[in-house]
Structure 1
Amino acid sequence: MTRRVVERLAPEHVRVETELSMPLGAGFGASGAGALSSAYAINEAFSLALTADGVGEAAHGAEVASGTGLGDVIAQNVGGLVVRLSAGAPGVGSVDRIPVPPLRIDCIVRGPLSTEEVLSDPSVMRGVNREGERALKELLRRPTLDRFVSLSWEFARRSGLARDWMEDAVEAVEASGGMASMVMLGDAVFAVGGAEALAEFGDVISAKVCLGGAGLE
């Protein structure tokens, strides 16, 4: 997918190196992040004068064409706890944010889950779309962090995406006072609080919510 961004934006041959600190194929949006960071770097290196939305649109288009995702890029470009209000690339789709501090998020990963396979399966997508619309309506009635996590877990179960082992992991985190749900789309669980309980199910990866979104350093 990064290659698609390079082919679209770079006016000449360029070498791109990406350093990834999260597992691939586990639902962390690595493909979208790689495309978006490359688009920002190429825009700067070649003085293309694209706005943040323009950079994001190029990365979003590459992700959709590659079948690796539909909504990661716009969320990554904005940062924070993003709520999608309408579909589309940055500058086209609309989002809002639930105000949160830079929360620590703990995750465990059991293995990869092919986003492309899920997105290309009509029967799975019917359930995803139906339950996604329901969950979004419920979230917008009370847009809080607690409601976001609980509706996320409802969506994972009702859509059929959740794996059997996740039920035990989520229950263990909740019993310890935390909140947890499935990482979309990955054979993985994320938690807010309850890291010790989560560690019983695998090696814990920790990160923080970035409130500023993508950019250059």
Structure 2
Amino acid sequence: MKKKVAMAWAPGNISCIFEICRGRTPERTGSRGMGFTVDEGATVSVSRAPATAVFYNNKKVDFPTVKLVIRRLTAKKVMVRISSDLPLGAGFGMSGASALAAAYAINRLLKLRKGRKELAMAAHCAEVEAGTGLGDVVNQSHGGLLVKFEPSWKFRVVRPKVEGARHVYCAWHGKMSTRNVLRNEKKERAINGAAEKALAMLREMLKKRMMERAPLPFAEIIGISKRFAEESGLLRDRKMKSLIVGIEKRRGHASMIMLGNAVFSDIPFPGSVRLRISEDKAKVLP
């Protein structure tokens, strides 16, 4: 008997630093940077259908990233239903999570027998083609707080020892177009210049901590992230700036979530939602 519905889950991802690494193909395009996955994410169910359709929290949506991953895996028509407590377009990597979980579920439903790396690459390429991300899928396929010193398409990550990285507090308002940022050459130059400095600083900090056999404080990671947000010119929104100043006055640490009109912090603040930093990676559900 053919399976009627297949389900999968992938975590949300908060990107702290990113450098755009362009290649000739989606398979050789990605990013370097740092970020972490959280306990909330995208639960996706996939079933056969007369026509392909995508729903996000029961609302039919035009979701190019998910449709592209479908086309990369099959010519069959499927219905994709995505459920999440996290919003689209706010920097939580939900395009990547939705595409990756959809890939896992399609593979299960249609018995494609593709491996995890192949499915993750299909989702990564879909994100690149749609302009919705460059490195989220890599983190979501590994899970945890990760640094990518090499371009994300290589799927190689560093998992540093970090102290105090258990919970994070987030707030968001409105949406930011990742596509518009990634396709702006002037912004790309500023982003890459700031990212190169931030990653060099992070590498030295990790090297020093390794020699001292001590973990890197989460507060220092947030500090590097904030510096990158400012130097790249991405932190421009007045409301986000005001939130960060308020958090710092209360002896907390905060930065901008890449790429969204959103803030993350190591202490609670008005309007924030608590998420757990998690090492859970994308998976097929029973």
TM-score, with normalisation over the residues of structure 1?
A: 0.90
Deviates more, 1:78-87 or 1:102-111: 102-111
Please, which of 190, 194, 204 is the counterpart of residue 131 of structure 1?
A: 194
Identify unmatched segments of 5+ residues in structure 2.
Answer: 1-64, 207-215
Q: Which residue of 1 aligns with 2:212?
A: none
Counterpart for residue 37 of structure 2 = none
Asked whether the 8 Å contact 2:171–2:264 carries over to 1, the reply is yes
SS of residue paired to 2:152: coil
User: Residue 53 in 1 paired to residue 53 in 2?
Assistant: no
| Paired position in structure 2 for 1:36 | 100
The offset of 1:54, in angstroms, is 1.2
1:22 maps to 86
Corresponding residue SS for 1:95: coil
Letter in structure 2 aligned against 1:176: R
When residues 116 and 93 of structure 1 are mapped into structure 2, their CA distance, relative to the original with a 3 A threshold, is same
Q: Is the 8 A contact 1:102 1:210 kept in 2?
A: no
Query: What is the Cα deviation at residue 102 of structure 1?
Result: 6.6
Instruction: Pick the aligned partner of 1:180 from 254, 270, 276.
Output: 254
* Cα shift at 1:21: 1.3
Task: Summarize deviations over 1:122-151 as a string: whole Å, max 9, x none.
Answer: 000100001011101111112322221101
Q: Which residue, 164, 184, 187 being the options, matches 2:238? A: 164
2:161 equivalent to 1:99: yes
Which of the two has greater strand per residue? 2
Q: TM-score scaled to structure 2, two decimals? A: 0.69
Partner deviation per Cα, 1:163-208 (whole Å, 9 max, x = no partner): 2333332232223232210010011101112x1xx21xxx222211
**Where in structure 2 are the equivalents of 1:65-104 lying within 5 Å?**
65-89=129-153, 92-100=154-162, 103-104=166-167
Structure 1, unaligned runs of 5 or more:
none
The residue identity in structure 1 corresponding to 2:276 is K
Q: Which residue of 2 aligns with 1:147?
A: 220
Q: Distance in 2 between matches of 1:216 and 1:54?
A: 15
Higher helix share: 1
Cα pair 1:102 1:211 within 8 Å, conserved: no
Structure 2 counterpart of 1:205: 273
User: Over alpha carbons, which structure has the higher Rg?
Assistant: 2
Q: Which deviates more from structure 2 when the two are superposed, residues 33-42 or residues 79-88?
A: 79-88
Q: 1:119 to 1:177 in 2, by over 3 A?
A: same
Matches of 2:66 and 2:166, distance apart in 1? 29
RMSD, aligned α-carbons: 1.6
Between 37-46 and 127-136, report the one with greater CA deviation.
37-46
**Residue 126 of structure 2 is aligned to residue 62 of structure 1:** yes
Q: Partners of 2:199 and 2:115 in 1: how far apart?
A: 29
Q: Which of the residues 13, 17, 20 maps onto 2:77?
A: 13
Aligned residues of 1:85 and 1:93 also touching (Cα < 8 A): no
Distance in 2 between the 1:103 and 1:11 partners?
42
Whole-Å separation in 2 of the counterparts to 1:190 and 1:121: 25
User: Which amino acid in structure 2 is aligned with residue 170 of structure 1?
Assistant: I
Match of 2:157, SS state, is strand
Letter of the 1:44 partner, please give it: R
Deviation at 1:11, TM superposition (A): 5.1
- Match of 2:147, SS state, is strand
**For this pair of structures, how many residues does the alignment match?**
209
Rounded to whole Å, the distance in 2 between the matches of 1:148 and 1:69 is: 21
Which of structure 1's runs of 4+ aligned residues deviate more than 3 A? 99-102
